Amino acid sequence: MKFNLRSLSRNLALAALALLAQRATAETFRVAAYNVETYLDQPTETRHVKTAESKAKVQESILALKPDILSVEEMGSVSALTELRNSLKAGGLDYPYWEHVTGADTNIHVAILSKFPITARRSHTNENFLLSGKRFKVSRGFGEVDIQINTNYTLTVLAAHLKSKRAVAEADEKELRFQEAKLLREKIDARFAENPNANLVVLGDFNDSKDSPSTKVVIGRGKNKLIDTRPAERNGDNAPNENPAYEPRNITWTHHFGKEDTYSRIDFILISPGLAKEWVTNETYVGTIPNWGVGSDHRPILATFEAENK
């Protein structure tokens, strides 16, 4: 039997090109987190209605990113969420599937918006913990849903807004945030116990830096340690840090604290080792639009993934 080496080489080359083309056109989806700073349509005892100008800028920020799945923090009532969804739909971004989470805080909430069907809901609205002999509730609860991206790909989304740094008389704010973070980590570990290869994203406003005890406990350790996607501005920065132990010196801040005029990274998109295999790193970034601060004291962050288990 004779082999036509030229024909074989040509066929192999065509097959390789076809595989590359398939990978280049692989279906992707985009996940974002955004603290929309008191998105209220009705006043409460302690918070004002968000202005029309501020709402419009929030909508502009979201429309600029066009996420397929969006976690929002500091959302008001269901009617406020409906108002946001309708405004985004008018701008060409439709979220027919959503989850609004009600916790102990009756003013602001966590919500999840999705273009894809939500197939399971496990949000946690009554989590509590004991601290110094007192019982405390997780203020905003945790949003947890399964989303069917396509026939063969499911994503679990865990959204959180941990205790702020605002001092309270009842307990130390760092301790309260740490206890909330421990409960959030329990939910993460429960997903891994059910499926060690779960496609899991944990995102939201953690109200502290990556090196803080509360954020560290959410990230975890060992084989189930979450990966920090670390979205940064797309401004051309691509040089590594001179010290290989440190992250690159690109611009990653997500929050401006007006009282101290400081900028920090307290919003995160963390992913499971399984989901990290599908992570599109060069399509992961911080949203930047002119006058972003009219909408919120936070900037939105976004990460992109391929919708195919690797």
Helix H, strand E, coil C: the string for 126-153 is CCEEEECCEEEECCCCEEEEEEEEECCE
Give the chain's end-to-end CA distance (angstroms, integer).
Answer: 38
Beta pairing partners, 201? 157, 271
Residue 7's pLDDT is 55
Helices then strands (H, E): number in the chain?
6, 16
The predicted model scores a pTM of: 0.92
Choice among 20-24, 240-244, 290-294, 298-302 with the minimum mean pLDDT: 20-24
Amino acid at 231: P
How far apart are alpha carbons 158 and 67 in whole angstroms? 16
Residue 209 · residue 265 · CB < 8 Å: yes
Taking residue 195's Cβ as centre, other Cβ atoms within 10 Å add up to 13
Share of the chain above pLDDT 70, in %: 92
Residue 1's pLDDT is 45
Helix 78-90 crosses helix 52-65 at what angle (to 10 degrees)?
60
Torsion angles phi and psi, residue 258, rounded to 5: -60, -35
| 172-201 pLDDT tens trace | 999 999 999 999 999 999 999 999 999 999
How far apart are alpha carbons 229 and 285 in whole angstroms? 9
Residue 16's pLDDT is 53
Q: Tell me: pLDDT of 207 over 60.
A: yes
Q: Tell me: pLDDT of 15 over 60.
A: no
Mean pLDDT, to the nearest integer, of 29-55? 96
Residue 84 · residue 147 · CB < 8 Å: no
| 270-279 pLDDT tens trace | 999 999 999 9
Choice among 18-32, 68-82, 199-213, 242-256 with the minimum mean pLDDT: 18-32
Beta pairing partners, 120? 146
CB-based burial, 224-253: b 16+ in 10 Å, e otherwise: bebebbbbbeeeeeeeeeeeeeeeeebebb
